[in-house]
Amino acid sequence: MCATSAQSLLCDKPASEPRHLDRRAFLKTSAATSAAAFFGFGFFGTVAYGAALTQAQRDAMTPDQIIADMKKGNKRFRTGAETPHNYLAQQRASAKGQYPAAVILSCIDSRAPAETIMDLGIGDVFNARVAGNVANDDILGSMEFACKVAGAKVVLVMGHTSCGAIKGAIDKVQLGNLTGLLLKIQPAVDATSYAGERSAKNYDFVDAVARKNVELTIGEIRDRSAVLAELESGGAIKMAGAMYNVKTAAVDFFI
Ligand SMILES: [Zn+2]
């Protein structure tokens, strides 16, 4: 049982119970940390050796360090130097508790899986995915849980180039429940300053809207979540925005 019902979603032990690694796991983690430091992987790199992110490691990281590690992970991915993940070992190491460093809001696009393109492992980040990476009450609630209850320190909203949801919003597509979702992107279409052709066929415009959509979504998160805004103003978390380029494989952090 966990200390609160919200915390019970995280673990199967009391939240107040000290968590300590057994000797074998500790030695593994120590060796992994040394190796990670040697190879410049950062803390996320420790999962290369089968260990999941520990509470002590996560708590020692600043939001800026977490963002820096995400950037390093993307560099490894786009240069073909990914960490050799042992997912089964990560699953076992994280089975009794999770200490993710960030919560990511990204699109459902099959070409933009956040963990893969930033070379992250099991237990490293929460990942909310919805077409067009828009915020809604459920997404905000998930982020509040991730940061306030579970201790994540970064809220990352990540859009991507050639986004079908953005194209749909530009074209004002009407289709079942998709209509309402695309309406949430419409403010970004309207707010995008662009001198050229404002159509879904112009990918420069599509990508400009996607970037504006990330900016507006971060603003909406601040406006609509007093919980997250308070954590941010107190320095406990940092909000960041990024665009993933499906052609170059680069994640560009621009906020
Ligand atoms: Zn998309």
32-57 per-position pLDDT tens digit: 443 343 333 455 655 445 688 899 99
Q: Look at residue 51 in the predicted model and tell me its pLDDT.
A: 81
Write out pLDDT tens, residues 94-106.
999 999 999 999 9
- Position with higher pLDDT, 149 vs 26: 149
Answer whether residue 1 shows pLDDT above 60. no
Ligand 1 centroid distance, CA of 189 (Å): 14
Q: Residue 163 Cα, ligand 1 centroid: separation in angstroms?
A: 4
- Mean pLDDT along residues 234-247: 98
Distance separating alpha carbons of residues 68 and 107, to the nearest angstrom: 22
Instruction: For residue 29, name the pLDDT band (cuts at 50, 70, 90).
Output: very low
Surrounding residues of ion ligand 1, Cβ less than 5 A = 107, 109, 163, 165
Q: How far is it, in rounded angstroms, from Cα 104 to Cα 190?
A: 25
Q: How many angstroms separate the CA atoms of 208 and 197, rounded?
A: 12
160 CA → ligand 1 middle, Å: 6
Distance of CA 188 from the midpoint of ligand 1 (Å): 14
CA of 140 to the centre of ligand 1 (A): 19
Q: What is the mean pLDDT of the chain?
A: 86
Q: What is the pLDDT of residues 163-184, one digit of tens each?
A: 999 999 999 999 999 999 999 9
Q: In what order do the strands lie in the sheet with 238-244?
A: 125-129, 102-106, 154-160, 238-244, 251-253
pLDDT of residue 52: 86
